[in-house]
Amino acid sequence: MSQAIVLTPPLRSADVAQLKAGDRVLITGTIYTGRDAAHKRIVEALQNGQEPPFPLDGAVIYYVGPSPAPPGRVIGAAGPTTSYRMDAYAPTLIQRGLKAMIGKGKRNDEVKAAMAKHQAVYLGAIGGAGALMARCIKEAEVIAYPDLGPEAVRRLVVENMPLVCVNDVNGGDLYIEGRKAYQR
Amino acid sequence: MGDVRTVNAADIAGTVERLCGEADLLLPADVKAALEKSRASEESPVGREILARLLENADIAAKESMPICQDCGLAVVFIDLGQDVHVTGGELVEAVNQGVRQGYEKNYLRKSVCHPFTRANTGDNTPAVVHVRIVPGDKLHLWVVPKGGGSENMSKVFLLTPAQGLEGVKRKVLETVEAAGPNPCPPIILGVAIGGTFDEAALRAKRSLLRELGSLNPDPEAASLERELLALVNDTGIGPAGLGGRTTCLGVFVDIKQCHIASLPLAINVQCHAARHKEAVL
Name residue B120's amino acid.
Answer: A
- The pLDDT of residue A3: 86
Neighbouring residues of B256: CB distance < 8 A, sequence distance ≥ 6: B194, B195, B219, B221, B222, B225
Q: What does the DSSP assignment read for A70-129?
A: PTT-S-S--PPPBGGGGTTTHHHHHHTT--EEEEBS---HHHHHHHHHHT-EEEE--TT-
Q: Among the three residues B147, B182, B208, which one is the final residue of a domain in this structure?
A: B147
Half-sphere exposure of residue B262, counting CA atoms within 13 Å on the CB side? Answer: 2
Residues B173 and B142 in one domain: no
Mean pLDDT of A109-136: 97
- The pLDDT of residue B1: 57
Domain membership of residue B233 (yes or no) is yes
- The pLDDT of residue A89: 98
Domains and CATH numbers, chain A: 5-180 (3.20.130.10)
Cis bond before residue B182 (omega within 30° of 0): no
Residues B209 and B143 in one domain: no
Q: How far is it, in rounded angstroms, from Cα B195 to Cα B207?
A: 15
- The pLDDT of residue B209: 97
Q: How confident is the model at residue B124 (pLDDT cuts 50, 70, 90)?
A: very high
CB contact under 8 A, B65 and A182: no
Q: What does the DSSP assignment read for B22-42?
A: HHHHS--HHHHHHHHHHHHH-
Residues B138 and B201 in one domain: no
Residues B208 and B124 in one domain: no
Burial annotation B174-183 (CB, 10 A radius, 16+ → b, else e): eebbeebbbb
Q: Among the three residues B147, B182, B209, which one is the final residue of a domain in this structure?
A: B147
Using only C-alpha atoms, chain A has a radius of gyration, in whole angstroms, of 15
Q: Please report, rounded to a whole number, the percentage of residues in chain B having pLDDT higher than 90.
A: 99
CB contact under 8 A, A127 and B241: yes
Query: Min CA distance, A49 vs chain B (Å)?
Result: 23
Cβ pair B250, B34 in contact under 8 A: yes
How many CB atoms lie under 10 A from the CB of residue B191?
24
For A161, B25, B145, B180, the CA distances from A4, given in Å and listed in that order, are 11, 31, 38, 28
Residues B14 and B137 in one domain: yes
- The pLDDT of residue B133: 97
Residues B251 and B271 in one domain: yes
- Work out the angle at residue B134's Cα, subtended by the Cα atoms of residues B128 and B140, and round it to the nearest 5 degrees: 70
Task: Please state the length of chain A.
Answer: 184
Per-residue pLDDT reduced to its tens digit, B155-199: 999 999 999 999 999 999 999 999 999 999 999 999 999 999 999
Residues of A in contact with B57 (CB under 8 A): 126, 128-132
The phi and psi torsions of B87 (rounded to 5 degrees) equal -80, 125
CB contact under 8 A, A81 and B64: no
Domain membership of residue B58 (yes or no) is no
Name residue A131's amino acid.
Answer: A
Domain membership of residue B248 (yes or no) is yes
Residues B204 and B75 in one domain: no
Residues B127 and B175 in one domain: no
Element (H, E) at B206: helix B198-208
Give the residue from B216, B17, B193 showing the smallest Cα distance to B98.
B17
Residues B255 and B172 in one domain: yes
How many CB atoms lie under 10 A from the CB of residue B218?
7
A70, A128, A149 member nearest B69 (Cβ): A128
Which residues span the domain enclosing B249?
150-276
3 state DSSP class of B236: coil
Residues of B in contact with A132 (CB under 8 A): 53, 56-57, 60
Q: Among the three residues B129, B147, B165, which one is the final residue of a domain in this structure?
A: B147
Q: How confident is the model at residue A13 (pLDDT cuts 50, 70, 90)?
A: very high
ipTM: 0.95
Domain membership of residue B40 (yes or no) is no
Domain membership of residue B187 (yes or no) is yes
CB contact under 8 A, B244 and A37: no
Name residue B247's amino acid.
Answer: T
Cβ pair B20, B109 in contact under 8 A: yes
Q: How far is it, in rounded angstroms, from Cα B6 to Cα B138?
A: 9
Domain membership of residue B269 (yes or no) is yes
Domain membership of residue B49 (yes or no) is no
Mean pLDDT of A119-139: 97
- The pLDDT of residue A1: 52
Name residue B257's amino acid.
Answer: K
Q: Is the pLDDT of residue B2 over 90?
A: no
Read off the DSSP letter of residue B124: S
Residues B208 and B104 in one domain: no
A124, A126, A181 member nearest B53 (Cβ): A126
Mean pLDDT of A80-92: 98
3 state DSSP class of B264: strand
Domain count of chain B? Answer: 2
- The pLDDT of residue B120: 92
Task: Please state the length of chain B.
Answer: 282
B109, B182, B245 member nearest A105 (Cβ): B182
- The pLDDT of residue B213: 97
Beta strands in chain B (DSSP E): 5-8, 74-82, 85-88, 129-135, 140-147, 156-160, 188-196, 249-259, 264-271, 278-281
Strand-pair category, A100-103 with A60-62: parallel
Residues B143 and B154 in one domain: no
Domain membership of residue B32 (yes or no) is no
Residues B143 and B10 in one domain: yes
3 state DSSP class of B273: coil
Residues of B in contact with A106 (CB under 8 A): 181-183
